[in-house]
Amino acid sequence: MQELKACPFCGGPGRITLRSIGTDGRSDRFMEEYAVGCVQCGATTGKIHQSRFFRKNGEFIMEKDGYAEAVAGWNRRAETPPGDEIPPEGQGGS
């Protein structure tokens, strides 16, 4: 299981939350929904990620892994091109 990175805004810890578990109205299909956000400042990815499972011959088979998608979405960071770094406060440019 991949670990969540710190919040890109405040450095606080990220947390993944299981928002709901249910079916899509059929007895052989199940869903889980996940959201990710910062415990400290409340920043979120703004997206709900859904895992989908179905039952076949008594086994649960995952169709889509929303948990992994949620972690990957939170951990994704924009690349800063070389030379475009933001200077520390008080040490600005011109």
Question: What number of other Cβ atoms are within 10 A of residue 75's Cβ?
Answer: 15
Average pLDDT over residues 27-52: 92
* Burial track 14-53 (b if 16+ CB lie within 10 A, e otherwise): bebeeeeeeeeeeeeebbbbbbbbbeeeebbbeeebbbeb
pLDDT of residue 88: 62
Q: Read off the pLDDT of residues 15-34 as tens digits, 9 standing for 90 and up.
A: 999 988 887 676 678 999 99
Supply the pTM of this predicted model: 0.73
pLDDT of residue 65: 96
